[in-house]
A and B are shown apart, each in its own frame.
Chain A
Amino acid sequence: MIEFKQAVKTFRLGKREVTAVNDVSLSVAQGEIFGIIGFSGAGKSTLLRLVNMLERPTTGSIQVQGVDLATLSQKDLRKLRRRIGMIFQNFNLFSSRTVAGNVAYPLKLAGGAKKEVTERVAELLDFVGLSDKANDYPEQLSGGQKQRVGIARALATSPDILICDEATSALDPDTTADILRLLKKVNKELGITILLITHEMHVIQEICDRVAVMEDGEVIETGTVFDTFTNPQHSTTQRFIQSVQQDRPSDALLKEWRSKGGRKLYRVIFKGEVASDPVLSRLTQKYGVNFNIVYGSIRELQEKFFGNLLVSFDGEEESVNLLIAALKETVEIEEVEVHES
């Protein structure tokens, strides 16, 4: 659907050359919600704008639905842009037009007949739940409502792709959840492929199928959201994940645990099916070891269980070692280090 091939984008800032996107190769499949996460300045916003050529790549290529964008004339490019809806962090609504006028705008650009435009606008406003606001002006709306208008406007020309530039970053948590539900509905009901960028890991966790992590213009990790959350490879990815799920207590608490004679802590990770098997209790009984869950959680991630527990074992050292070896066959287990700082 969308294919980045060794895409590079450099900007000239005075005499300095800045590489915003550095050799990115990515492919987004039809029908999925693909998230790109990175801290600000990671280049994700530039990367997103390569998809509809608001920015042109310095080298490399971008293909959308098999068409290399560099080969398009200005006219064909404008046509293609109607197949790619875009929503923005600051909504970018036209303040001189009503809600209905904003949604109608792309249809008018495409040369729609007046009657069809009116019907389509009503349909779209109904889809985003703003039928009663048709004649209001953007300044009369709340942030969440503005983004709904933005979504309706982006969907007006029935695009195949929706690209979202930090679409929820200016919204409060409740409204963010509303907008994410709406995006999920856009994806599921209309079958629109979504490519979004964000700096918030919970957005990825909430709606994305796959994720790419960006740092300094490069994609440092790509994978399904489940794999990335359960087995992050890169330290930046780990930081993002810790922002949504604290997977260990604070070092202060861990030190206190140790100084009070607490035993070694092990992290046990369950994924998917394993979470329904009482493996911990079964094996500890077998080896005659008691276990104590000190910290952790079992949560749902992409409609699968994901457990992350800190456990201590009470028993003969040899038994504990045998137990850990046995556990390693079904779950992931590792000793938790306590940082002495």
Chain B
Amino acid sequence: MKVDWTTFWPRIVESTGETVLMVIATLIFGSILGISIGLLLYVTRKGNILEKQWVFQTLNMLINIIRPIPFIIFLVALSPITRAVVGSTIGTWAAIFPMTIAASFGIARIVENNLVGIDPGVVEAAKAMGASPFQIIFTVLIPEALGPLILGLTFVTISLIDFSAMAGTVGGGGLGHVAMTYGYQRFDGSVMLVTVVILIVLVQVAQWLGNTLSRKVMRR
């Protein structure tokens, strides 16, 4: 049975809203968590401003354990914790929780990589001027790495659109869910086409925003 497009559009609009909510909420929570972990990873590195080998090693291992797990498996594996935290394993917020956890570790690695690229001489200069480790983090490391960091977060946003489609299959809602149930299971090519077009548009908008913002920050 094909969908009736005269009544199906509101469903598409609602799903698009769910997808956008999942992506943006995950991006916000994931960035807060991910940037914190990434900074911690960087400053506790050997020879760095707050060197703590065990913190670095623990975080590093944790990231390396979590990142290779395919998201769809991670989603299911995390469901007991999701239920404990969110209260349910079904719905948009139940998808945002595992998405945030998965995204944080990815973002942490991106943040760390960008910070490593900062000229250590600049950090040394700030130290020589009497900056505290806390001041170095917020007035040197973050501003200096901001341009590439925004591009990194843009990359993450686009993966999140991908994640949100998978979350849809476990009841997270969103465009992924619509595409799977109507487009794939009922062989309705028109639904598939519409959802794919909307996803492409979302990706384009995210990429454009990220590029514009980073260009502004990097003045190039």
A and B bind: yes
Asked whether, in the complex, the Cβ of A109 is within 8 Å of the Cβ of B128, the reply is: no
Asked whether, in the complex, the Cβ of A94 is within 8 Å of the Cβ of B128, the reply is: no
| A137, B144: Cα distance in complex, Å | 13
Asked whether, in the complex, the Cβ of B130 is within 8 Å of the Cβ of A88, the reply is: no
Which residues from A are CB-within-8-Å of B144?
Answer: 94-96
Q: A54-B128, A79-B130 are in contact. Are A92 and B135 (CB under 8 A)?
A: no
Asked whether, in the complex, the Cβ of B128 is within 8 Å of the Cβ of A52, the reply is: yes
| A84, B125: Cα distance in complex, Å | 12
Kindly supply a per-residue 1/0 record for chain B positions 117-135, scoring 1 wherever the CB is within 8 Å of any chain A CB and 0 otherwise: 0010110111111111001
Q: B-side binding surface: helix, strand, loop or mixed?
A: helix
Q: Which of B125, B131, B135 contacts A88 (CB 8 A)?
A: B125
| A95, B139: Cα distance in complex, Å | 12
Which residues from B are CB-within-8-Å of A86?
Answer: 125, 128-129
B residues 167-220 in Cβ contact with A at 8 Å: 217, 219
| A89, B176: Cα distance in complex, Å | 55
Which residues from A are CB-within-8-Å of B126?
Answer: 105
Nearest to B123 among chain A residues (CB) is A92
A residues 137-173 in Cβ contact with B at 8 Å: 137, 153, 157
How near does chain B come to A64, taking the closest CB pair, in angstroms? 13
Asked whether, in the complex, the Cβ of A54 is within 8 Å of the Cβ of B127, the reply is: yes
Asked whether, in the complex, the Cβ of A137 is within 8 Å of the Cβ of B121, the reply is: no
Asked whether, in the complex, the Cβ of B128 is within 8 Å of the Cβ of A81, the reply is: yes
| A88, B125: Cα distance in complex, Å | 8
Q: A54-B124, A86-B125, A109-B135 are in contact. Are A96 and B130 (CB under 8 A)?
A: no
B146 contacts A by Cβ under 8 Å: yes
A residues 77-108 in Cβ contact with B at 8 Å: 78-82, 84, 86, 88, 90, 92-97, 105-106, 108
A110 contacts B by Cβ under 8 Å: yes
Asked whether, in the complex, the Cβ of A109 is within 8 Å of the Cβ of B121, the reply is: no
Which residues from A are CB-within-8-Å of B219?
Answer: 137
Which residues from A are CB-within-8-Å of B143?
Answer: 94, 96-97
| A137, B121: Cα distance in complex, Å | 18
Q: A97-B143, A105-B139, A109-B135 are in contact. Are A92 and B122 (CB under 8 A)?
A: yes
| A276, B129: Cα distance in complex, Å | 48
| A79, B219: Cα distance in complex, Å | 34
Number of interface residues of B (CB under 8 A): 20
How near does chain A come to B185, taking the closest CB pair, in angstroms? 50
Q: Which of B121, B128, B217 contacts A90 (CB 8 A)?
A: B121
Asked whether, in the complex, the Cβ of A81 is within 8 Å of the Cβ of B130, the reply is: yes
| A94, B122: Cα distance in complex, Å | 6
How near does chain A come to B113, taking the closest CB pair, in angstroms? 18
Which residues from B are CB-within-8-Å of A108?
Answer: 139
Which residues from B are CB-within-8-Å of A92?
Answer: 119, 121-122, 124-125
B140 contacts A by Cβ under 8 Å: yes
Nearest to A139 among chain B residues (CB) is B219
| A168, B109: Cα distance in complex, Å | 37
| A283, B182: Cα distance in complex, Å | 114
Which residues from A are CB-within-8-Å of B122?
Answer: 92-95
Asked whether, in the complex, the Cβ of A96 is within 8 Å of the Cβ of B146, the reply is: yes
| A141, B105: Cα distance in complex, Å | 38
How near does chain A come to B152, taking the closest CB pair, in angstroms? 16
| A105, B130: Cα distance in complex, Å | 11
Which residues from B are CB-within-8-Å of A79?
Answer: 130
7 additional A-B residue pairs with CB within 8 Å, beyond A94-B143, A109-B129: A81-B129, A84-B128, A90-B119, A92-B125, A93-B122, A95-B122, A109-B131
The 9 A-B pairs at the shortest CB distance, nearest first, are namely A92-B125, A81-B130, A92-B121, A78-B130, A86-B128, A96-B143, A106-B129, A82-B130, A92-B122
22 CB contacts below 8 A, A to B, read A54-B124, A54-B127, A54-B128, A79-B130, A80-B130, A82-B129, A84-B128, A86-B125, A86-B129, A88-B121, A92-B119, A92-B121, A92-B122, A92-B125, A94-B122, A94-B143, A95-B144, A96-B143, A96-B217, A105-B126, A109-B130, A157-B129
